[in-house]
Structure 1
Amino acid sequence: MPTKRQMPTVRLRRLAAELRRLRTGVELTREDVSAHTGINTATLYRIETARVRPQRRTLIALLNLYEVPEPQRGEILALSQGASTQGWLRPYHSELPEEYTAYISFEAEARAVRNYESLFIPGLLQTEDYARAVIKGVLPMASTREVEQRVQARVERQAVLAKGDPLHMWAIMDEAALRRVVGGPDVMHEQMRHLATVATDPHMTLQVIAFGAGAHAGMPGSFVLMSFPEVEDPEIIYIDSMAGDLFLEAEADVRRYGAIFDNLRAVALSPDDTSSLIASLAKELQ
């Protein structure tokens, strides 16, 4: 049976970035490192791209080669020890898609997210009934058990908005996400009331791109940009599509999607006008 691939975590990404920095700092290629340590270049590539956590003896060999002094050496070893721990997972999440569980872990450790959605209410802002209707519609072949597992995971994820140091969220939606009557008028009425409530939270910013705005930069699809508390942890982009889930972290991609989000902010209704639109839609659905 094939081995389940190591899911990336914030700490694993930080460890990978630090090992890349140390290697380039001593001006060694991966081939040079392999020649000095016997570590396979493919293995080193997987370590430096956060595909796997290095074994302790492998990590020590790398630290020796890079001549890493204390206390930095101890800090890196401690970082590696906790690098495999997913930040927030429940036992049943092992049955969810691997990319989704990785996303859940990143989201739980994020400081802020910028989320654009073209067709859905953002997952963190969905009511339970709306989430259930969406999941049933998007995954028509899923069993009742699978649907309920995903609904439970989606609802539990929302704890990041209510914790002591809540996640800061800036959500932009196309008006189509609000106009599509998912689950029927009653479900959408409840969903609009929920959006009206969360829009008043100080750590939340909601905007809608009105139909009248015409074509805009978000039309190709939805995306999430996540940033983390530590400056050493680079931002990450998550894209969910029918072709599969994708994580991007190259600086060029982060800049590009950041610029797209800024453009969407500019063409969207203001937060106050967005709240007025949500209240109007809730009244229509009542």
Structure 2
Amino acid sequence: MPPTNNPTLRQRRLGAELRKLRERAGLTTTGAAPLLGVNQARVSMVETGRTPVSADKVRSMAGAYDCTDDRLVEALAAMTGRRVRGWWEGYHDHVPVALNDLAELEHHAVALRVALIVHIPALLQTTDHARALFEQVAPPMRQYEIEHRLTHRIKRQGVLHRENPPPYTAIIHEAALRMDLGGPIVARGQLKHLTDMSELPHVTVRVVPFGAPDFPTTGQSFDYVAGPVPQLDTVQLDTHYGACDFLDAETQLSKYRAVLDRMESCALRPTESADFIHRIIRDT
């Protein structure tokens, strides 16, 4: 298969995980090449995602690297094959690359957990709320950029409405619920939409009220995207400049799992959260 100059996030992640296996085996790319029957350049291109690799080749690489974690190996093998041409490919020239990477991550996710302090989760936003949010971005976006971002976000939400959707848990601070974004009518519509979505069997919404004790956060929102095995999980961080940072080091994943667990321990139960949101709607 020919090399590619624009590998997807999934292809890059596969290569990165193969690099981790090689490094754990104490091998350089030069030392690994003869074990794999290829040259050093080929090893490097596979590890950067620029050269596709077959499932059988992944298994042989894992064997050469003395990896005995069969679940991980099979999960990596499942990441091979032809590039998935998802709907996000149509936005290649219209939104930042990181947003397409996030859409691809969500498409393949086994489960999704998000934590937000001052925003409503993107996958639970109404069209009016999302539009109001994009209209307040600094520096301002042009109208056509807003439309591209808006349709991209709405299409991302399809992951929650497809057949066999991933379990989705949203931990939302009360501050986000009380943001009057777009005015009272838009705000009430957004809150009502939250409660409607929380009634889906695979969607859980939990609210962290003001005054919740031991709330572990620095104010940063993040998504935790679960893969088929814990080693293939990914954390996506929002940044102040509107892009996304992706973390996949085991120490980072462990940290954010712990943060999410502590945030959930501070949150109201799902039924209590729905009642809480309904009270805010009545007061809005």
Residues 12 and 80 of structure 1 are in contact (CA less than 8 Å); yes or no, is this contact kept in structure 2?
no
Report the counterpart of residue 39 of structure 1 in structure 2. 40
Measure the CA separation in 2 of the matches of 1:56 and 1:277. 50
Report the counterpart of residue 157 of structure 1 in structure 2. 156
Query: Kindly tell me: are residues 17 and 161 of structure 1, through their superposed partners in 2, closer, same or farther at Cα, counting changes over 3 Å?
Result: same
Could you list the runs of 5+ residues in structure 1 that have no partner in the other structure?
69-74
Measure the CA separation in 1 of the matches of 2:115 and 2:272. 18
Shift of 1:53: 2.8
Report the counterpart of residue 251 of structure 2 in structure 1. 252
Shift of 1:273: 1.6
Letter in 2 for 1:190: G
Query: Kindly tell me: are residues 86 and 18 of structure 1, through their superposed partners in 2, closer, same or farther at Cα, counting changes over 3 Å?
Result: farther
**TM-score, reference length from structure 1:** 0.81
Letter in 2 for 1:13: R
Letter in 1 for 2:237: I
Letter in 2 for 1:250: A
Cα-Cα RMSD: 3.4
Whether 1:241 and 2:242 are equivalent positions in the alignment is: no
Report the counterpart of residue 7 of structure 2 in structure 1. 6
Measure the CA separation in 2 of the matches of 1:91 and 1:112. 25
Letter in 1 for 2:149: R
Shift of 1:231: 3.0
Report the counterpart of residue 52 of structure 1 in structure 2. 49
Measure the CA separation in 2 of the matches of 1:77 and 1:114. 25
Query: Kindly tell me: are residues 232 and 117 of structure 1, through their superposed partners in 2, closer, same or farther at Cα, counting changes over 3 Å?
Result: closer
Residues 13 and 49 of structure 2 are in contact (CA less than 8 Å); yes or no, is this contact kept in structure 1?
no
Whether 1:203 and 2:202 are equivalent positions in the alignment is: yes
Whether 1:173 and 2:176 are equivalent positions in the alignment is: no
Cα offsets for 1:83-142 (capped at 9, x unmatched): x43544251343210111100111111121110011110000000000000111124420
**TM-score, reference length from structure 2:** 0.81
Measure the CA separation in 2 of the matches of 1:238 and 1:135. 19
Whether 1:283 and 2:264 are equivalent positions in the alignment is: no
Residues 214 and 266 of structure 2 are in contact (CA less than 8 Å); yes or no, is this contact kept in structure 1?
no
Residues 118 and 219 of structure 1 are in contact (CA less than 8 Å); yes or no, is this contact kept in structure 2?
no
Letter in 1 for 2:40: I
Letter in 2 for 1:105: E
Cα offsets for 1:47-72 (capped at 9, x unmatched): 33xx3232679x97x9699779xxxx
Letter in 1 for 2:96: P
Q: How many residues matched?
A: 270
Query: Kindly tell me: are residues 189 and 242 of structure 1, through their superposed partners in 2, closer, same or farther at Cα, counting changes over 3 Å?
Result: same
Measure the CA separation in 2 of the matches of 1:129 and 1:147. 12
Residues 91 and 152 of structure 2 are in contact (CA less than 8 Å); yes or no, is this contact kept in structure 1?
no
Letter in 2 for 1:226: V
Residues 222 and 239 of structure 1 are in contact (CA less than 8 Å); yes or no, is this contact kept in structure 2?
yes
Query: Kindly tell me: are residues 63 and 262 of structure 1, through their superposed partners in 2, closer, same or farther at Cα, counting changes over 3 Å?
Result: closer
